[in-house]
Structure 1
Amino acid sequence: MPLVTEVWHVYVLIGLLQAASAAFTPTYQAVIPDIVTDESAYTRALSASQVASTMESLLSPVLAAVALAFLSFDRLFLGTSAGFLLSALLVLSARVPDARPSAHTRAWDKAAAGIRTFLRTPRLRGLMALNLVVAAAGSIVVVNTVNLVRDGLGGSQSDVAWMLAASGTGTLVAALVLPRVLDRVAARTVMTTGAAVLVGATGAAVMLVATGIATWAGTAVIWSAIGVGMALIITPTGKVLRASVARNAIPEAFAAQFSLSHLAWLITYPVAGWIGTAAGLTLAWSVLAVLAGAGAAGALLLWPRHDTPAPVTGPVSGAPAKDRSSLAKAA
């Protein structure tokens, strides 16, 4: 970043960063079931992972703001690079003794196998629809917070960070509560409840800008609700994936989930950005609210209420019959 002199440089760096994330994130998510094999402990591990991610997104803007009081942007980015290098060393020092190799070795084979599993597994088709709900509501926060806070509310750069923190706080609180909830309530119920929260929050956001009554308090409440709804869907996702495939097919499932969820963001980001710029936030958020509603309805239709089928078998998983039977009971 200190070497950037043109806008296209930023696009190239974003592409490189996201490509690295596409390699790291699903691998990291797929390793957690190898480390934490107990079902209840795994649920808490998913919550801890979500809490760690949310804390990072909450603390990073605050730490950056503090650092910029003493450092230039260039030095801040160099410090961030040093942090990435330290993280890489920690990852290299880690060991996963019980890790099983994937049923596929090539990246494309993993993604293709995982996508095929998604297409023929009812609960995973429902998860694809829920990805659209998350992306529709999340795009409002990620893309348009700056526009609303600075242009609509007359706030500062610092105020943008605080509004993003409101959404992160909602996610954090929900992630902390979810382990106890998921011990008693099915993942489908929790995730469809999250979808309902997001549909309601996007509708409220539309009303906020359409009526011209946007306030700091009202925006913070809606942003917090979006954070809660996203956590209700994202946190149990690993639990659903784990129950849907054989153990050596878990990497493919997480790779497919990463790809398919980002396909949803690929749809909603331009809606929030391009339509928001060309026609205003009211129209852009109305389209996103419709997409969120369609995703929620799709999830209810695609994911059966009484969901007890055996997970995908055959060449995708390569699991022995005994493993498949155990997975069916877990599902």
Structure 2
Amino acid sequence: MVSSMSPFSVSAFRHLFGAQITSLVGTGLTTVALSLLAFDLAGEDAGLVLGSVLALKMVAYLLIAPVAGGIAHRVPRRAWLVGLDVLRAAIVLCLPFVDQIWQIFVLVFVINAASAGFTPVFQAIIPEILDDEKTYTKGLSYARFAYDLENLASPAVAAALLFVWQFDSLFIVNCLTFVVSAILIVSANIPAAAQTDRVGGFYENTLFGLVAYLKTPRLRGLLAVYFAVSCVGAMIIVNTVVLTRSVLGGSEIMTTVFLGCAGAGSMCAAFLIPKVIDQLGERRLMLSGIVFAAGAMLVGGINMMLGFGSAVFYAVLWAIAGAGTTFAQTPGGRLVQRSAAVGDKSAFFAANFALSHGGWLVAYAMVGWLGGLVDLSVAFLASGSMALLGVGLAVSVWPRKDPLEIHHSHPGFWHDHPHDHHDPHHTHAHPGTQTDAVDANDHTHAHSDDDERHRHEHFHPPVTHKHRFVIDSHHSRWPVESGEQV
């Protein structure tokens, strides 16, 4: 039974959700304005400019998100988010003054670099303020619903505003939405970041999230699912206009209707996820969703090769694909927060953000080139086939039995990191203390309260135990067998 608690009953979530909505709307308006600006500067080469901008966006996400995840735990999160919102507002405000194509590339890279720093930290806060998993799942669904609604509403809002304003005024609106987002974040009750026992410099902290993410079996499965989602999603984003205009002979309105069908399917799925996920579990729901989405692409490709299929037929496929991809990707946040220590969530969400967008970079190139250079039916078949390949990879690396608590053992070792004495690993001795049969109470401390976190070199005696298992400073690899040494 689904909990009746609404995430909107939590004040902090209301503020952060409002910040997300305002920045999404502003970003959607800027997408429209950027298209018009590119046409103004590049004319018939505007498509090439926008394609390059899209690729640059993915590169910014891939390069910057791990760096942000590695250093975010050192900075107050409210100041971090507000600072990046202000930076994005300032960059967007520069766009109306652009008169060279290279300036678009520079500003777009910087604004997306700021987004790569903002989004993972924002995502890591949500499960902390919605600590009940069912409520958090509803929060994820509402976020997905808002994203799809923005995709449908922003072009219509932009069209209405363009009747009375020049397109560069849309950049000013986007600037204001980032300012509103910053104000809402300032007013939100954001909990202080949990302390982490990670040590090391910039390089080690940047790599930590990526390495730990890839060492976690369920997250490797999630990454394969994300790749499958990107193969289907890229087909919808890149080739909807080709399908509706060139193949079906429709108008711009048909293109909008098809995108609306994909969005409607996605929103229906987002509404259903909290009601079905506990019965099916994440693994079954996500894999089933992407199989349906991949199947829609394969059916579309086969029918196109045979010369069958009407506009209604393909619109239904678009709705199925939209629903399937949402079933596949929306529960991912649950897996990420479940796989990270409390103080490491930002690093894991940053790794998730960066690695998942790597799949989009590959998928955009694949379906775009195949659709343009070969045939749209080949792009359909490649999209569905690559998505099924992702499903197969996910099944192989994501164990069907995936317990939270795992029986494992540790060798005895010395190391140095911030700690207190309530962690099961911290029954230890100081340097020079006898290391066999050690009792945590057999040594003294320079500080007055053992409950305080402190740092010194200490010895962990060998131990075999069972607890919620995550990759962190004490667990450098995932145990394959029960009781295996980590």
SS of equivalent residue, structure 1 residue 186: helix
Question: How far 1:110 moved relative to its partner?
Answer: 4.8
Aligned counterpart, 2:261: 166
**Structure 2: how far apart are the matches of 1:123 and 1:313?**
21
Distance 1:152 1:302, change over 3 A: same
Distance 1:215 1:80, change over 3 A: farther
Distance 1:104 1:233, change over 3 A: farther
- Among candidates 107, 114, 136, match of residue 231 of structure 2: 136
Aligned counterpart, 2:17: none
Aligned counterpart, 1:296: 391
- Among candidates 133, 145, 160, match of residue 66 of structure 1: 160
Aligned counterpart, 1:56: 150
Aligned counterpart, 1:184: 279
SS of equivalent residue, structure 2 residue 150: helix
**Structure 1: how far apart are the matches of 2:356 and 2:250?**
32
Distance 1:182 1:282, change over 3 A: same
Alignment-mate amino acid for residue 34 of structure 1: E
- Among candidates 105, 121, 124, match of residue 11 of structure 1: 105
Aligned counterpart, 1:114: 209
Q: Superposition RMSD on alpha carbons, in Å?
A: 3.0
Matched residue pairs, number?
328
Structure 1 unaligned blocks of 5 or more? none
Aligned counterpart, 2:123: 29
Alignment-mate amino acid for residue 361 of structure 2: L
**Structure 2: how far apart are the matches of 1:181 and 1:111?**
36
**Structure 2: how far apart are the matches of 1:218 and 1:81?**
40
Distance 1:67 1:325, change over 3 A: farther
**Structure 1: how far apart are the matches of 2:289 and 2:131?**
26
Q: Deviations over 1:76-96 (max 9, x none)?
A: 332233222222332233231
- Among candidates 243, 248, 252, match of residue 157 of structure 1: 252
Aligned counterpart, 2:402: 307
**Structure 2: how far apart are the matches of 1:219 and 1:268?**
21
- Among candidates 276, 281, 285, match of residue 380 of structure 2: 285
Identity of aligned residues (%): 34
SS of equivalent residue, structure 2 residue 403: coil
**Structure 1: how far apart are the matches of 2:282 and 2:160?**
39
**TM-score (ref. length: structure 1):** 0.88
Contact kept in structure 2, 1:102 and 1:251, CA below 8 Å:
no
Q: Deviations over 1:164-196 (max 9, x none)?
A: 121111111111111111232211111111121
More deviation, 286-295/144-153: 144-153
**Structure 2: how far apart are the matches of 1:96 and 1:71?**
37
Alignment-mate amino acid for residue 173 of structure 1: C
Question: How far 1:328 moved relative to its partner?
Answer: 5.1
Aligned counterpart, 2:461: none
Question: How far 1:317 moved relative to its partner?
Answer: 12
Higher relative contact order (CA 8 A, sep 6+): 1
Alignment-mate amino acid for residue 247 of structure 1: V
Report 1:252-263 matches (<5 A): 252-263=347-358
- Among candidates 241, 246, 268, match of residue 146 of structure 1: 241
Aligned counterpart, 1:320: 423
Contact kept in structure 1, 2:404 and 2:469, CA below 8 Å:
yes
Question: How far 1:302 moved relative to its partner?
Answer: 0.9
Aligned counterpart, 2:323: 228
**1:83 aligns to 2:177 (yes or no):** yes
Distance 1:75 1:129, change over 3 A: same
Q: Deviations over 1:172-224 (max 9, x none)?
A: 11111111112322111111111211221221232243334453212211111
Distance 1:208 1:3, change over 3 A: farther
Aligned counterpart, 1:239: 334
Contact kept in structure 1, 2:264 and 2:319, CA below 8 Å:
yes
**Structure 2: how far apart are the matches of 1:108 and 1:263?**
21
Contact kept in structure 1, 2:294 and 2:383, CA below 8 Å:
no
Aligned counterpart, 2:301: 206
**Structure 1: how far apart are the matches of 2:163 and 2:197?**
50
Distance 1:283 1:5, change over 3 A: farther
SS of equivalent residue, structure 1 residue 185: helix
- Among candidates 134, 140, 150, match of residue 40 of structure 1: 134
**TM-score (ref. length: structure 2):** 0.61
Distance 1:270 1:38, change over 3 A: same
Alignment-mate amino acid for residue 371 of structure 2: G
**Structure 2: how far apart are the matches of 1:156 and 1:114?**
46
Which one has a bigger Cα radius of gyration? 2
**Structure 1: how far apart are the matches of 2:253 and 2:104?**
23
**Structure 2: how far apart are the matches of 1:317 and 1:180?**
41
Alignment-mate amino acid for residue 130 of structure 1: V
More deviation, 294-303/273-282: 273-282
In terms of fraction of residues, the more helix-rich structure is 1
**Structure 1: how far apart are the matches of 2:312 and 2:202?**
46
More deviation, 101-110/72-81: 101-110
Distance 1:160 1:283, change over 3 A: same
Contact kept in structure 2, 1:44 and 1:179, CA below 8 Å:
yes
Question: How far 1:298 moved relative to its partner?
Answer: 0.7
**Structure 2: how far apart are the matches of 1:77 and 1:157?**
24
Report 1:263-282 matches (<5 A): 263-282=358-377
**Structure 2: how far apart are the matches of 1:84 and 1:66?**
21
